[in-house]
Amino acid sequence: MDSLPDGRPASWEQLESWAAPEADRIDGPANPQARLRLFGQEESAVRVTLYRDHHAWCPYCQKVWLWLEEHRIPYRVRKVTMVCYGEKEPWFLRLVPSGMLPALELDGRLITESDRILEALELAFGPLGRPLADPQVLALRQLERLLFRAWCQWLCVPGLGERGERQAAEAFDRLAATMAQALEAGPGHFFLDDLSSADVVFVPYVERMNASLAYYKGHLLRQRHGAIDRWFRALEERSTYLGSQSDFHTHAHDLPPQMGGCYANGSDIQRGLAARIDRGPWPIPMADGSDPETSQIEPADSAAVALARVLRHRRPLLDRYGQGEERFATALRAALTTLIERRPMAPPAGTAMELRTLAQRISVPRDMPLHAARRLREALEQTASLDPRDPDAVPLPTPLHHRRDQDPRPFLQGIL
């Protein structure tokens, strides 16, 4: 890589030359950007269309997504806006009047409800591991719902008080221990013989529990239950899961509007963890040296991947965060230069607020994978902290009741 001769930010052309090449969305690893997945087959083999959210956040969509990826079923994707992020597309409301996601077309037949969708897929393509109606799988599916309810009763009920917090935490922990026991009863790190629909059903919400309980309760699920940590580690060995995996920051700020509120317990541990999740640096150090978010070491190209993803959406990002002003464009080039060269660089005076606002809105996996997002958030923060006029500027607050600040429309030009 050519180093710049002085402290000036790299030009857009120079930045382009540093960006990672685009991965193969159709036949390469699982990714949230794909509109078609073929797994090396002909397009004529496609029997499935998955209607899922633009935001790559909907947990029920993640369940179906992961199942299709694990089973390597060719499918098309049509993306829809969740009400929390913007206006629902009229064409989708004509197809599914409730507007609920996911929906799936199989051989031209429309199916809604994620469990019905998995059942239909299983009938058409065979089970993923053990069938959904297998008694052990059924029992695990019921356990997942119980765990989900206990999580909601801890996370989403305001004013629990000290005693209520303790009781809700204990009730959740008992069910998490039951999940851990079920995992320990299996021959490997998954519930049954190998990864199956039972694991896929647990993934979306246990991922959200792990993130939200760290942020709002200072509770580290993976540290508390070794079998759950080993399960995550086994998942994190799979490119299917890594393509769909979100991070603590994204879940912490996307859950409140979806769940009707998430309530912090205010403990010292909770506040410390929340501050680190919001602003880094990463990884968040644990006493045993582990990383509570991921067992994956950072890929060598994570900064270049982050850069490529920003450059792809450069125009709407400049409009949204800098109102198209040259000042912000220069600040962003400074941050991107720092991202690649790891060399601190001051932005134009008065741009720290916009840089930090952007850092708070990077969404994983929608925008980029976990490690790429960490790098980009760090580079934006480092650049903001060197603002000659306002180094401590605070970002615009992240809305709690909706996320229309994340409306996907400006980013869809030329993509649909």
Length of the chain: 416
Q: Is 96 in the site for ligand GSH (CB under 6 A)?
A: no
Q: Is 82 in the site for ligand GSH (CB under 6 A)?
A: yes
Query: Is residue 100 within 8 Å of residue 107, measured between CB atoms?
Result: no
Contact string (CB under 6 A) for ligand GSH, positions 186-225, x = contact: ----------------------------------------
Binding span for ligand GSH by CB under 6 A among 100-108, 135-143, 242-250, 401-409: 100-108
Query: Is residue 312 within 8 Å of residue 305, measured between CB atoms?
Result: no
Among 48, 73, 84, 200, binds ligand GSH (CB under 6 A): 84
Q: How far is the CB of 59 from ligand GSH (least distance, A)?
A: 6
Q: Is 58 in the site for ligand GSH (CB under 6 A)?
A: yes
Q: Residue 53 or residue 378: which is nearer to ligand GSH going by CB?
A: 53
Q: How far is the CB of 197 from ligand GSH (least distance, A)?
A: 14
Please give the Cα distance from 357 to 366 (Å, whole number): 17
Q: What are the strands of the beta sheet with 103-106, ordered from one edge?
A: 36-37, 75-80, 48-53, 103-106, 109-112
Q: Is 259 in the site for ligand GSH (CB under 6 A)?
A: no
Binding span for ligand GSH by CB under 6 A among 108-116, 217-225, 312-320, 396-404: 108-116
- 14: tokens are 């120079």
Q: Residue 233 or residue 402: which is nearer to ligand GSH going by CB?
A: 402
**106 bridge partner residues:** 48, 109
- 195: tokens are 């990864």
Among 9, 59, 218, 256, binds ligand GSH (CB under 6 A): 59
Among 33, 114, 196, 363, binds ligand GSH (CB under 6 A): 114
Please give the Cα distance from 30 to 408 (Å, whole number): 21
Q: Residue 23 or residue 96: which is nearer to ligand GSH going by CB?
A: 96
- Alpha-carbon separation of residue 284 from 215, 289, 299, 349, 357 (angstroms): 12, 9, 17, 30, 21
Q: Is 101 in the site for ligand GSH (CB under 6 A)?
A: yes
Q: Are strands 48-53 and 75-80 parallel, antiparallel or unpaired?
A: parallel
Q: Under DSSP, is residue 272 helix (H, G, I), strand (E, B) or coil? A: helix
Q: Is 113 in the site for ligand GSH (CB under 6 A)?
A: yes
Q: Is 128 in the site for ligand GSH (CB under 6 A)?
A: no
Q: Is 407 in the site for ligand GSH (CB under 6 A)?
A: no
Residue reference for tokens 């049954």: 192
Helix residue ranges per DSSP H, 342-411: 352-359, 370-384
Please give the Cα distance from 362 to 305 (Å, whole number): 13
Q: Is 60 in the site for ligand GSH (CB under 6 A)?
A: yes
Residues that bind ligand GSH (CB under 6 A): 58-60, 82-84, 88, 99-102, 113-115
